Structure 1
Amino acid sequence: MKKIIYTTDYSNNSIAALKYAAAMGDLLKTDVIVLHVYPPSEEGSGKKEVRKMHQEKLLEFCKEHLKDKFDSTEISVAAVKGANVAHAISEFVRDMNVYMIVMGACGTSTFKEVLVGSTTKEMLGASPFPVLAVPADFNSDKVEKVMFASVLADEDINNLAELINILAPAKPEINVIHITHKDEEAAAKALEDFKHRVTQVINYENLTFRNIYSFQIFDTLQETIDETKPDFIVMPEHREKNELNKVIIRDRVKRMQSCTKVPLLSFPPAL
């Protein structure tokens, strides 16, 4: 059975992500593993003792913030050692069957919480599974309207199919948007071609497609989020042979993760 992995350093920035991970676990009828990565320097007092201490601390963290929604049969805890948090998380999930890794998004100012955000950004480039970044002040568990930012690539079709599979219990409205600076006729033709390719492999009624014309992709995307108020945003990463384009695309996803007001899911690029 696929699981949800939620990672925390016990900071306030990660509390909303814990609640969202628990809600997603309930929605998907799957287990949630709450994971903490501690530095090797802590093992001076004994490996087993340190791990047990963190497991107990994680349980208290979950009980405190989930309250009556905490269920020990559905939520388990794990603590692992790692000098690099993102690498340790990737190693932990390497042989698992995982829906997504849920983490706190950036947006706060304390040093510890900036570290959480930095780890989330690093995971966007390292995780073999989708990464869900949840803003610190987010307090809803609705998944009724989803915005999928697409570049009309074949990878997007695969990610869209996986997204629909993941969110099948919620049956949300999924709005596929494509921000483009092409002329209107060419852009409309490209979108129609993409829709045709999607319908060849995906049968989902609650799916819409829309072109938005702009040279300012990041700003326009943010404005569209503010206007449409989705419950959930999806921004897949894509394979890029051109290293500069690869950096630009990844930076765009990370910028969105830093300022998003709603949960943002990023699929890793296909191998």
Structure 2
Amino acid sequence: MKKILVPTDFSDQAENALKVAAQLARKYNCEIYLLHIIEIPLQEVDPLSSYSNLPEAIYFMKLAHKQFKELKTNDYLEGLVIYENVEFHEIFKSIFHVCKKHDIDLVIMGSNGVSGLKEMLIGSNTEKVVRTSETPVLVVKNEHKTFKVNDFVFASDFKDESKAAYEKAIDFANILKAKIHLLIVNTPNKFVTSATSKKRMTKFSEAFDFSNYTINIYNDLSIEKGIMNFSQSIKADLIGMSTHGRQGISHFFNGSISEDLVNHAKRPVITFKI
């Protein structure tokens, strides 16, 4: 892990993410890439001109760099290598572009979550990024004066398609020297016997050269609740999941457990794209 991207709107939630990024960057000698997105209404854009030539864009770009300058005066960023990026696309497109351009290893975002009607109608920027990002996304809800991960829950159905995501989770766990707690949640609607679940998880885990893990089967009313309740029971520091990147009507009907966790879990959540 050498490059960390932190999207920021200069809010308290974004600064919580930056503080975690700063701790990881200092400990593992990483570079930090700050990203601010300027969204210009399409009706104001001349198709023959570029975003960056618009008077509004120039004003907001100068304002962003002024805010970057003020942000970098914080003591917790002293001595770190930090780059500034300003983009004019939608947030998930901007993050995809910057990740590809700079070969980013990890995206860290702040979120306070949304719920109820607001969540149903507009969702959240963080949720969109989790759904679409090819790069692992770590979502931070609160300020962490010391970001330390000892116990890392990785929830999955442990089918073959999740192996690539788990391999990335192992890499992250190795960097942090964390124990992974493999978790499958049994629900009334999707019940699988413990014996069958354990057999599947054992076969899955044996495909990797990694021994610092436990196997856990937890029963609950929903997968989301099971993950959060199990994580609470062992006082986990981090929850990890794979995400399918569903979009459009498929996403609306199928939902996404990883996005629900990003919105509702109190613990940090990291997602890995399948």
Task: Give the one of 234, 246, 253 matched to 2:258.
Answer: 253
Q: 1:148–1:177: 8 Å Cα contact kept in structure 2? A: yes
Q: Structure 1 pair 166/221, CA: closer, same or farther in 2 (3 Å)?
A: closer
Residue 4 of structure 2 is matched in structure 1 by: 4
Matches of 1:259 and 1:218, distance apart in 2: 9
Matches of 2:161 and 2:28, distance apart in 1: 24
AA of the residue aligned to 1:255: D
Q: 2:201–2:215: 8 Å Cα contact kept in structure 1? A: no
Q: Cα RMSD (Å) of the superposition?
A: 2.9
Q: 2:149–2:237: 8 Å Cα contact kept in structure 1? A: yes
Q: How does 1:174-213 map to 2 (within 5 A)?
A: 174-181=180-187, 186-200=193-207, 202-213=208-219
SS of residue matched to 1:5: strand
Q: Tell me whether 1:94 sits opposite 2:100 in the alignment.
A: yes
**What do residues 200-241 of structure 1 show as CA deviations (whole Å, max 9, x unaligned)?**
3x222211111112342222222222222211110211378x
Q: How does 1:218-257 map to 2 (within 5 A)?
A: 218-238=224-244, 247-250=253-256, 252-257=257-262
Moved more, 172-181 or 218-227: 218-227
**Unmatched 5+ stretches in structure 2:** 42-50, 116-121
Task: Give the one of 248, 259, 270 matched to 1:265.
Answer: 270
Matches of 2:88 and 2:156, distance apart in 1: 37
Matches of 1:228 and 1:265, distance apart in 2: 18
Shift of 1:102: 1.0
Matches of 2:128 and 2:245, distance apart in 1: 17
Matches of 1:92 and 1:215, distance apart in 2: 39
AA of the residue aligned to 1:18: L
Q: How does 1:65-76 map to 2 (within 5 A)?
A: 67-72=75-80, 74-76=81-83
Residue 113 of structure 1 is matched in structure 2 by: none
**Unmatched 5+ stretches in structure 1:** 110-115
Shift of 1:34: 1.0
AA of the residue aligned to 2:151: K
Q: Structure 1 pair 249/155, CA: closer, same or farther in 2 (3 Å)?
A: farther
Residue 38 of structure 1 is matched in structure 2 by: 38
Q: Structure 1 pair 6/216, CA: closer, same or farther in 2 (3 Å)?
A: same
Q: 2:136–2:270: 8 Å Cα contact kept in structure 1? A: yes
SS of residue matched to 1:230: coil
Matches of 1:190 and 1:245, distance apart in 2: 26
Q: 1:101–1:132: 8 Å Cα contact kept in structure 2? A: yes
Q: 2:114–2:124: 8 Å Cα contact kept in structure 1? A: no
SS of residue matched to 2:72: helix
Q: How does 1:8-87 map to 2 (within 5 A)?
A: 8-40=8-40, 44-45=54-55, 50-64=60-74, 67-72=75-80, 74-82=81-89, 84-87=90-93
Residue 174 of structure 2 is matched in structure 1 by: 168
SS of residue matched to 1:13: helix
SS of residue matched to 2:19: helix
Shift of 1:14: 1.3
| TM-score (structure 1 length as normaliser) | 0.81
Residue 47 of structure 2 is matched in structure 1 by: none
Q: Give the share of equivalent positions with the same residue, in percent.
A: 21
Figure out how many residues of one structure are paired with residues of the other and give that number: 254
